[in-house]
Amino acid sequence: MKLFSGNANKRLALAVADYLDIPLGRCEVRRFADQEIFVEIQENVRGQDVFILQSTSYPANDNLMELLIMIDAARRSSAKRITAVLPYFGYARQDRRSQGRTPISAKLVANLITQAGADRVLTLDLHAGQIQGFFDIPTDNLYAVPVMARDLRANYDISNVMVVSPDVGGVVRARALASRLNAPLAIVDKRRDKPGESKVMNVIGDVSGRDCILIDDIIDSGGTLVNAAEALLANGATSVAAYLSHGVLSGGAVARIISSQLKELVITDSIEPTAAVDAAPNIRVITISDLFGEAINRTALEQSVSRLFD
- Interface residues with ligand R5P (CB under 6 A) are 166-167, 169-170, 196, 198, 216-224
CB 256, min distance to ligand R5P, A? 9
CB 47, min distance to ligand R5P, A? 41
Contact (Cβ atoms closer than 8 angstroms) between residue 162 and residue 182? no
CB 261, min distance to ligand R5P, A? 15
Q: Distance of CA 170 to CAs 38, 175, 176, 287, Å?
A: 39, 9, 10, 22
Contact (Cβ atoms closer than 8 angstroms) between residue 290 and residue 19? yes
Contact (Cβ atoms closer than 8 angstroms) between residue 2 and residue 51? yes
C-alpha R_g of the chain:
20
User: Hey, is 250 helix, strand or coil?
Assistant: coil
Q: Which is nearer to ligand R5P, 66 or 217 (CB)?
A: 217
Q: Is 132 exposed, middle or buried (0-12, 13-18, 19+ CB in 10 A)?
A: middle
Round to whole Å and give the CA distance between 215 and 156.
15
Q: Which is nearer to ligand R5P, 82 or 242 (CB)?
A: 242
Number of H helices, E strands in the chain: 9, 14
Round to whole Å and give the CA distance between 160 and 232.
15
Query: By C-alpha distance, which of 175, 282, 169, 275 is closest to 222?
Result: 282
Round to whole Å and give the CA distance between 74 and 77.
5
Q: Which is nearer to ligand R5P, 54 or 221 (CB)?
A: 221
CB 302, min distance to ligand R5P, A? 33
Q: Which is nearer to ligand R5P, 83 or 221 (CB)?
A: 221
CB 132, min distance to ligand R5P, A? 16
Options 190, 194, 199, 263, the catalytic residue: 190
Q: Which is nearer to ligand R5P, 117 or 223 (CB)?
A: 223
Contact (Cβ atoms closer than 8 angstroms) between residue 158 and residue 183? yes
CB 73, min distance to ligand R5P, A? 33
Q: Is 107 exposed, middle or buried (0-12, 13-18, 19+ CB in 10 A)?
A: middle
Q: Which is nearer to ligand R5P, 67 or 248 (CB)?
A: 248
Q: Is 190 a catalytic residue?
A: yes
Residues annotated as catalytic (active site), given as ranges = 190
